[in-house]
Amino acid sequence: MRLRYKTSKIGLLATFLGLLSLSSCKKDLPGALDTSAKLTVLNSIKIVNAGASGTTVLEGVVDETAKTISFPRIEPTTDFSNLKFEAVLSDGAKLDKETYPVTFEDGQSEKVIIVKVMSEPRFREYLVKLRLKVPVFGADFATGKTYDFTNNPLGEPLYYAFSGFTTRGSGFDGEKVLIVKRSNDAHLLNVSDLKNGVTTKIPLNMTGIAGGTFNINMGAQVNGHTYIASLSGSGASPLRVYHWTDPSVAPQVILDATTAGISGAGARNGDNLSVSLNDQGNGYIFFGDNPGNRVLRYDVTNYTTVSNPTTFATPVASAGSWTSYNRVGNTSDYIFTGHDAPVASISEGGSPSYIMSRFSIPVRGSDARVFNFNAERYLIITTAARTGSDATVFYVYDITKGSTVKEALTNLDNAPTITPVFQYALMGPVNPAPASQTGFYVKKDAQGKDEKLLLYSAANDTGFVIFEFGKKVAKD
């Protein structure tokens, strides 16, 4: 008992001495910073000097999770060199600036700036999205519909014809999809059916189709007219083009030739087919030879009269087996590309006015087309999966900026960053024969104005897909 008593007294003494020591040292240690009042809470914010008079007030919507602020569209007459915000903040906090100078570049209708809520030493940043109240143009690529018959698992199963490397050609005109299978299985599909997941074939009458390394190989669908070409593997092999307006009737043979006697023609033609016609059926049929060095062009009148074979060199040598020559609207401009060549603006005789860099957009892009919709201009391509590092992807680029196609492609080429406004993976395999096609169709309303945009993409052993987009609409 005595021992325990002595131990207890010693313990109490040690505790007392320790507390005394802590008390004396506490005066020498710095205390914790008191930041309980330094809050950076943004309760609400508004622009107070919008409009031509500088008196319009616009309330902002704060997303505290994303740290963003959005406002209704702002009149372009606003003094953006002196934009002023008024905010309800936590006690002691303030915005980092009294006014904010904002610059919209030519053609730019949206801008994001950073606004800070300050309460030293703390601050909180918000991304403020400013949008001009101007008419909106072009397609709404954020809310489109997709009708997929490719390898992409998000859609319907892969369409049966796109297997075994036998479907090299296809076509699209907004109403029909054309499928050209080398095994003499050529048929049409109604776009209206495809929108409901229905793939009912409309067989083409194949009476009289014969000749060539392959009787049928490539195709095009233009304004309700169906074209199919044979493959001519040598100068002596028949190069034939067949034409239908009624799939149940035997086709017209509108071209029956060999290339042996045509000066400057390549040895193999029919691996690709470009039918560039206007609304009256006048224009050209283009064949690029297999290496992509020479072009064979025929004049076309009234959809069916084919004449005047002409040859010239491709604007880019060794462009590949699947070159394309697509007319831009009713202009004299054509868009050339191939799976081993960049996009180029050319004449009907192959003279380039501008050739893009191989590194701006994917050089594997095939069947490039340029068109207008709702006052904007677009470029579309489908890439070819030639190697394991390639993929089959459909791309859409906005090339509205520029008074001509040449200027538009130049601006795209020189942009600091190039981002497609839409892209979609067809998920094709690595493909030694990646014949690829694109297409577009602009549906008009009762007043003849652009209403819907339909886009098409297909590739050998990959399948096909159709997209439908409406016009952009200002939401506020």
- CA 317 vs. chain centroid, Å, equals 26
In a domain, 35, yes or no: no
pLDDT digits (tens, 9 = 90+) for 105-154: 887 889 999 999 999 999 999 999 999 999 999 999 999 999 999 999 99
Whether 90 has a pLDDT exceeding 50, the answer reads yes
The reported pLDDT for the residue numbered 108 is 85
The reported pLDDT for the residue numbered 4 is 40
- Mean pLDDT score, 426-433: 91
In a domain, 48, yes or no: yes
Q: Are residues 107 and 153 in the same domain?
A: no
In a domain, 336, yes or no: yes
Q: Are residues 83 and 160 in the same domain?
A: no
Residue type, 29: L
Number of Cβ within 10 Å of residue 96's Cβ equals 12
In a domain, 16, yes or no: no
- Mean pLDDT score, 258-264: 94
Whether 162 has a pLDDT exceeding 60, the answer reads yes
Using 50, 70 and 90 to split pLDDT, how confident is the model at 37?
A: low
Query: From CA 474, how far away is CA 240, in angstroms rounded?
Result: 50
Q: Are residues 68 and 153 in the same domain?
A: no
Whether 361 has a pLDDT exceeding 90, the answer reads yes
Q: Are residues 91 and 173 in the same domain?
A: no
Q: Are residues 387 and 283 in the same domain?
A: yes
Q: Are residues 267 and 324 in the same domain?
A: yes
Q: Are 203 and 180 contacting, i.e. CB atoms less than 8 angstroms apart?
A: no
Q: Are residues 126 and 157 in the same domain?
A: no
Q: Are 372 and 312 contacting, i.e. CB atoms less than 8 angstroms apart?
A: no
Using 50, 70 and 90 to split pLDDT, how confident is the model at 399?
A: very high
Q: Are residues 124 and 175 in the same domain?
A: no
Query: From CA 176, how far away is CA 174, in angstroms rounded?
Result: 6
Residue 56 sits in a domain whose CATH number is 2.60.40.2340
In a domain, 36, yes or no: no
- Mean pLDDT score, 64-92: 95
Using 50, 70 and 90 to split pLDDT, how confident is the model at 460?
A: very high
Domain boundary among 131, 161, 186: 131
Full 3-state SS string of the chain:
CHHHHHHHHHHHHHHHHHHHHHHHHHCCCCCCCCCCCCCCCEEEEEEEEECCCCCEEEECEEECCCCEEECCCECCCCCHHHECEEEEECCCCEECCCCECCCCCCCCCEEEEEEEEEECCEEEEEEEEEEECCCCCCECCCCCEEEEEECCCCCCCCCCCCCCCCEEEEEECCCEEEEEECCCEEEEEEHHHHCCCCCCCEECCCCCCCCCCEEEEEEEEECCEEEEEEEECCCCCCEEEEEECCCCCCCEEEEEECCCCCCCCCCCECCCCEEEECCCCCEEEEEECCCCCEEEEEEEECCCEEEEEEEEECCCCCCCCCCEEEECCCCCCEEEEECCEEEEEECCCCCEEEECCCCCCCCCEEEEEEEEECCEEEEEEEECCCCCCCCCEEEEEECCCCCCHHHHHHHHHHCCCCCCCEEEECCCCCCCCCCEEEEEEEEECCCCCEEEEEEEEEECCCEEEEEEEEECCCCC
The reported pLDDT for the residue numbered 13 is 41
The reported pLDDT for the residue numbered 144 is 96
The reported pLDDT for the residue numbered 474 is 84
- Reading the block at residue 119, the tokens are 């309460």
Whether 316 has a pLDDT exceeding 80, the answer reads yes
Please give the share of the chain, as a percent, with pLDDT higher than 70. 92
- Mean pLDDT score, 94-98: 95
Whether 308 has a pLDDT exceeding 70, the answer reads yes
* Cα 108–Cα 372–Cα 384 angle in degrees, nearest 5: 100
Q: Are residues 59 and 106 in the same domain?
A: yes
Domain boundary among 131, 158, 185: 131
Q: The domain containing residue 122 runs over which residues? A: 42-131
Domain boundary among 131, 158, 180: 131
DSSP strand pairing (56-59 vs 42-50): antiparallel
Q: Which of 7-21, 170-184, 346-360 has the lowest average pLDDT?
A: 7-21
The reported pLDDT for the residue numbered 382 is 98
Q: Are residues 74 and 158 in the same domain?
A: no
Using 50, 70 and 90 to split pLDDT, how confident is the model at 475?
A: confident
Using 50, 70 and 90 to split pLDDT, how confident is the model at 16?
A: very low
Q: What total of structural domains would you count in the chain?
A: 2
Residue 406 sits in a domain whose CATH number is 2.120.10.30
The reported pLDDT for the residue numbered 106 is 81
Whether 456 has a pLDDT exceeding 80, the answer reads yes
Whether 3 has a pLDDT exceeding 70, the answer reads no
In a domain, 258, yes or no: yes
The reported pLDDT for the residue numbered 5 is 37
Q: Are residues 127 and 193 in the same domain?
A: no
Task: Scan for tokens 């036998």, then name that residue.
Answer: 166
Q: Are residues 248 and 339 in the same domain?
A: yes
Please give the share of the chain, as a percent, with pLDDT higher than 90. 87
The reported pLDDT for the residue numbered 476 is 75
Whether 341 has a pLDDT exceeding 80, the answer reads yes
In a domain, 21, yes or no: no
Whether 56 has a pLDDT exceeding 70, the answer reads yes
The reported pLDDT for the residue numbered 381 is 98
Task: Scan for tokens 């600036």, then name that residue.
Answer: 97
Mean pLDDT (the chain, rounded)? 92
pLDDT digits (tens, 9 = 90+) for 18-36: 444 444 444 445 544 444 5
In a domain, 32, yes or no: no
